[in-house]
Structure 1
Amino acid sequence: MLGKFDGAESGKCRMYVWLEQSEVIQIKTKKYTVFMNNKDKDQTTAWYEQLKKSGAIKASAEITGKMDRQK
């Protein structure tokens, strides 16, 4: 899933998400929320750890569970 959305719960958001993967990084900013992951679950975790270690993210980012899919 790729693009700009206006979700009922998340509000304005950007999604860069492989729906087949259960872990998703959620980053909340003042303007919108970003959801992102990778086809490789380990790469998603590595991105999260890199962002956390660099100080680029703080408590406003987390790895969430499986995203609800609207069909």
Structure 2
Amino acid sequence: MADPPSHFTPEELERWRFGLAQANLNNILCHCRDCDATWMASDDENIACACGSRRVEHVACWQFPDG
């Protein structure tokens, strides 16, 4: 199955992806489902807790408005 057509040029898409990566810097809330620890990170992939658990949920904080 073919991908749907993009509304962005390749350059625009690259700028959009770069903007998301910048927004995520030190802005991913992580929570360990095993030991209940929470911390901030810059990446939501391959996150492991200090306790060794990989059962970590993550939320990009920039997605939520202040207030």
TM-score normalized with structure 1 length = 0.30
Compare the two structures and name the one with the higher helix fraction.
2
TM-score normalized with structure 2 length = 0.31
Compare the two structures and name the one with the higher strand fraction.
1
